[in-house]
């Protein structure tokens, strides 16, 4: 389980074997929702899900061909069958096939259409904001429900910083995520893709800190934008 205020990353997914647990329907509802939100924006996890789906398809073929158990006279071979290959017997194959079919149906109707959308070119909603202009009036940003969007964030190019850290807060003042990225000489604007999520409409605030090579941090200011959800 990912703790409140944190976002799921790929290392946590691998360590907790969440892809395998997801395909086996072993995740708690909250974990499942967090993982689905993650792999829609994680190419590695999307590929793992696709590979798992292919395994499911091959398993369906194996189960269909194994409806009649092969008689085994050798007692030593029977011991082997009762272990690894026991799941091929009809008593196990029928309920397992039902679970696999449910997974395939969910993937074809819900998951894959969203994953295909990630590979297609598209124009995202966007807004341009400048650090140090918190509360300034600007046109609202309208995004589809659970849709991603772009923020072009301008940071004043003063100070000798090695990196910046941006913190995004939702309308209730709760930290959604933090992003650290390297500072580049002469660059004063950074395009940030904000991943799709179950967001509420309202005013979002982004605060930015500059971090020197020695690790000293300084608050550089905040900016805000008004988000509207198109349902």
On whether both 18 and 111 belong to a single domain, the answer is: yes
* Per-residue b or e along 71-86, where b marks 16 or more CB atoms closer than 10 Å to that residue's CB: eeeeeeeeeeeeeeee
Q: Which one is predicted more confidently, 135 or 112? A: 135
Q: What are phi and psi of 221, to 5 degrees?
A: 125, -175
> Residue 182's domain spans which residues?
126-230
> Is 4 inside a domain boundary?
no
**218: which residues sit within 8 A by CB, 6+ positions away?**
159, 161, 209, 210, 211, 212
Could you tell me which residue, 78 or 138, shows the higher pLDDT?
Answer: 138
User: What is the rounded CA–CA span in Å between residue 85 and residue 45?
Assistant: 28
Q: Are residues 110 and 133 in the same domain?
A: no
User: Are residues 110 and 14 part of one domain?
Assistant: yes
Count CB-CB contacts under 10 A for residue 106: 12
Q: Using one digit for the tens of pLDDT, what is the confidence trace for 140-186?
A: 899 988 888 999 999 988 778 999 999 999 999 999 999 999 998 88
Q: Determine the Cα–Cα distance for residues 18 and 101; give it in Å rounded to an integer.
A: 20
Task: Please indicate, yes or no, if residue 34 is contained in any of the structural domains.
Answer: yes
Q: In what order do the strands lie in the sheet with 126-130?
A: 126-130, 149-154, 189-194
Q: Domain check: are 63 and 95 in the same one? A: yes
Same domain for 112 and 147, yes or no, is no
> What whole-number distance in Å separates Cα of residue 179 and Cα of residue 181?
7
Question: What CATH number is given to the structural domain containing 145?
Answer: 2.60.40.1930
The domain total for the chain is: 2
Give the full edge-to-edge strand order of the sheet including 202-211.
141-144, 217-230, 202-211, 163-169, 175-182
For residue 6, give Cα distances in angstroms to 129, 144, 193: 24, 24, 18
93 and 165 housed in the same domain: no
| Whether residue 87 sits in one domain with residue 24 | yes
CA distances from residue 134 to 175, 189, 190, 221, 225 in whole angstroms, order as listed? 16, 17, 18, 8, 9
d(Cα 33, Cα 108) in Å, to the nearest integer?
18
Residue 124's pLDDT band (cuts 50, 70, 90)? confident
Whether residue 39 is contained in a domain is answered as: yes
- Answer yes or no: is pLDDT of 14 > 50: yes
3-state helix, strand, coil in the chain (%, to 5): 40, 25, 35
Q: What is the pLDDT of residues 180-214, one digit of tens each?
A: 999 988 888 999 999 888 889 999 999 999 999 99
């Amino acid at each position: 389980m990912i703790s409140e205020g944190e976002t799921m990353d790929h290392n946590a997914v691998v360590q907790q074997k969440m892809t395998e647990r997801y395909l086996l329907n072993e995740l708690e509802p909250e974990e499942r929702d967090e993982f689905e939100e993650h792999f829609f924006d994680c190419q590695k996890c999307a590929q793992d899900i696709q590979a798992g789906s292919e395994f499911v398809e091959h398993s369906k073929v194996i189960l269909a061909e194994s409806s009649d158990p092969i008689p085994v006279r050798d007692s030593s071979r029977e011991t082997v069958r009762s272990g690894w290959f026991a799941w091929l017997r009809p008593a196990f194959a029928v309920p397992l096939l039902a679970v696999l079919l449910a997974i395939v149906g969910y993937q074809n109707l819900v998951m894959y259409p969203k994953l295909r959308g990630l590979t297609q070119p598209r124009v995202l909603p966007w807004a341009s904001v400048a650090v140090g202009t918190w509360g300034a009036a600007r046109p609202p940003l309208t995004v589809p429900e659970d849709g991603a969007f772009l923020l072009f964030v301008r940071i004043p190019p003063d100070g000798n910083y090695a990196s910046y850290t941006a913190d995004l807060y939702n309308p209730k003042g709760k930290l959604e995520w933090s992003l650290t990225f390297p500072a580049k000489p002469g660059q004063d604007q950074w395009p940030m893709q904000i991943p799709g999520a179950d967001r509420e409409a309202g005013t979002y605030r982004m605060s930015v800190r500059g971090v020197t090579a020695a690790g000293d941090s300084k608050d550089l200011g905040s900016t805000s934008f008004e988000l509207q959800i198109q349902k």
